[in-house]
Amino acid sequence: MEKIKGVYTAIVTPFKADGSINWSQLKKLVDYNIAGGVDGIVPMGTTGENPTLSEEEHKEVIKKTIEFVDARIKVIAGAGSNCTKTAVKFTKFAKSVGADAVLSVNPYYNKPTQEGLFKHFSAIADIGIPVVVYNIKGRTGVNVETKTLIKLAQNKNIVAVKEASGDIGQIMDVIAQKPNDFSVLSGDDNMTYAICCLGGDGVISVASNIVPNRILKMVKFALDDDFENAKKMHYELLPLFKSIFIETNPIPIKSALAMKGLIEENYRLPLSKISAEKREKFKKVLEKLRII
């Protein structure tokens, strides 16, 4: 796989009112993002509400997304778990149905040591498909430390990190020490501009669900060293970046997509609809940015 760069949308999973997956709306979102110019789609990440899908549904979302994309752009399939055996199983499945790479999150809740993290991701890499490590301490309770990540980056199948640690110092250390063919992707829209300016390679984005063309333009400016135009777009979009996390992701972004008429606003418990007060504030942000 060529080096991962650019904008990859962490796509939501649309549901019908009865809680079943809305396949027609998922296809609509895939086509909308492709038309917006993104470099890839990432199904079954946190934004896809993967904790509430059954194993069969999880696999079907990956398979259908690959079918809907139809080789027009890349698909990085969410295939992580806090059980190494399960993560390996999902990774084998993603490879078998034609995913270009997998996104594998830090094992959550069981809080492994750095040695355990190294062995976990190494076992996944043994499947023989490009692996993107998803480092998000805020949701998992464990951080992939720089020394561990650089050691993992020596594995030819571990090709990138989605950095959502929120620690800009750590991210700079990773960029400074990584191999040239290893990608550092922002995992937080709020930090994409900074990470790209510091030598990162792009973003796995929540915001690009609804404004793919604008996120792509900002990232392209930054990767082309046009930092002034990138900065201008960053600050224009900053109210959106902040608003999509006014409640737990993906509640706000699904609300925004519903306001735009792209999906129905349905979730699976324990997630539920955005509060009326926050919805009204969010709607004003979307209107001001001419998103709706």
Catalytic residue ranges: 134, 162
The alpha carbon of residue 1 and the mean position of all alpha carbons in its chain are separated, in whole angstroms, by: 18
Residues 124, 148: contact at Cβ < 8 Å?
A: no
Among 159, 139, 231, 142, smallest CA distance to 192 is for 231
Nearest to 204 by CA among 29, 40, 80: 40
CB count within 10 Å of CB 11 equals 30
Residue 75 CA to residue 149 CA, distance in Å, equals 23
Q: Residue 168, CB half-sphere, CA atoms under 13 Å: how many?
A: 10
Region of 262 on the Ramachandran plot (φ > 0 left; ψ -120 to 50 alpha; else beta): alpha
38 neighbors 75 (Cβ within 8 angstroms): no
Nearest to 10 by CA among 77, 57, 64, 59: 77
What does each C-alpha distance from 106 to 84, 89, 119, 140, 213 come to in angstroms?
Answer: 10, 16, 12, 6, 30
Interacting residues of 158 by C-beta distance below 8 A, sequence separation 6+: 121, 125, 130, 131, 133, 152, 182
Cα dihedral across residues 220, 221, 224, 227: positive or negative: negative
- Please give the structure tokens belonging to residue 162: 């989605």
Handedness of CA 9, 12, 14, 20 (dihedral sign): positive
| Token pair recorded at residue 153 | 């980056």
